[in-house]
Amino acid sequence: MDTMTQVAPAAATDLGMDNFIVLTDKAVEMVKDAMEREGLAGYGIRVGVQGGGCSGFQYSMDFEEKAKDGDVTLEQAGVRLYVDSMSSMYLQGVTIDYVQGLQGAGFKFNNPNAKNTCGCGSSFST
């Protein structure tokens, strides 16, 4: 698995989060495939946490052209990740994988900080 490299303006290593967010090889592959299909060369992925979901918080991922003020910006295997400062508190140590199963396919967040998760796997509480 590739390691993260830092990219300005703020980087995870600057915040003491060496393993802040890790994408599995399959997740990297699927993000790159999606960006290519959508014609989004040069874009990155915004990863975040929002209030809501079955357990109190839910994960979000979306395409983003560039970082916003205050974002932590990371890069792994050519995929740029943008994380706002509030979300960064909840995403330390998270691994994002891409899984396929009987109920479909999608990105799965493995969050070692989550105390409770819901059955759908897209929300959690701390």
Average of per-residue pLDDT across 100-104: 84
Residue-number span of the structural domain to which 79 is assigned: 4-116
Residue 121 counted as domain residue? no
Paired sense of beta strands 57-64 and 104-110, if any: unpaired
State the total domains in the chain: 1
Does 77 map to a domain? yes
- Alpha-carbon distance of 46 to 64, in angstroms, equals 6
Does residue 122 form part of some domain? no
**Tell me: the pLDDT tens digits for 40-63?**
999 999 999 988 766 678 899 999
What's the confidence (pLDDT) of residue 14?
A: 45
Q: What is the mean pLDDT of the chain?
A: 81
pLDDT digits (tens, 9 = 90+) for 62-88: 999 999 999 999 999 999 999 999 999
Structure tokens given for 6: 């830092």
Q: Is 23 inside any structural domain? A: yes
Q: Which long-range contacts (CB under 8 A, 24 or more apart) does 111-114 make?
A: 114/55
Confidence of residue 101 (pLDDT cuts 50, 70, 90): confident
Mean pLDDT computed over 110-114: 83
Is 69 domain-assigned? yes
Mean pLDDT of 98-117: 83
Q: What pLDDT sits at residue 3?
A: 45
Any domain includes 124? no
pTM higher than 0.85 for the full model? no
Mean pLDDT of 15-44: 88
**Considering the domain boundaries, does residue 43 fall inside one?**
yes
Is 111 inside any structural domain? yes
CATH number at residue 93: 2.60.300.12
Q: Specify the higher pLDDT residue, 126 or 115.
A: 115
- Please, what's the b/e burial string for 89-113 (b: 16 or more CB within 10 A of its CB; e: otherwise)? ebbbebbbbbeeeeeeeebbbebee
